[in-house]
């Protein structure tokens, strides 16, 4: 069984284009950093009703990315947060596409 290594780069590669497309945004307009991904997700969430689960997944991912910035990048907590963002973005991408 292969264990997936989740990084900011893999999150952007796996999810940013599909999620941005649904909102008519271009992920290339955002930096390839946790801040840039969080900003993109926040902009997409602004166009989705707060009653929609996708809005919740995106805003939770934004909050988790902000929490990630306050942790040691090599810690178990950082890995846990990245895995959470991966799960949230998977759910959002599945709903949007």
pLDDT digits (tens, 9 = 90+) for 35-82: 999 999 999 999 988 899 999 999 999 999 999 988 887 788 889 999
Q: Both tokens of residue 77?
A: 């907590």
Output the six-digit token pair for 18: 């599909």
Q: Compute the mean pLDDT over every residue in the chain, rounded to the nearest whole number.
A: 92
Picking from 33, 26, 39, 43, the residue whose alpha carbon sits closest to that of residue 12 is 33
End-to-end CA, the chain: 27
């Amino acid at each position: 069984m292969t264990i997936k290594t989740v990084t900011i780069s893999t999150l952007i590669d796996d999810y940013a284009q599909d999620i941005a497309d649904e909102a008519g945004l271009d992920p290339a307009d955002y930096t390839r950093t946790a801040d840039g991904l969080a900003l993109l997700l926040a902009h997409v969430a602004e166009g989705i009703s707060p009653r929609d689960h996708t809005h919740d997944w995106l805003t939770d991912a934004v909050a988790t990315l902000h929490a990630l910035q306050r942790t040691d990048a090599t810690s178990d907590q950082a890995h846990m947060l990245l895995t959470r963002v991966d799960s949230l973005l998977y759910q959002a991408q599945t709903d949007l596409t």
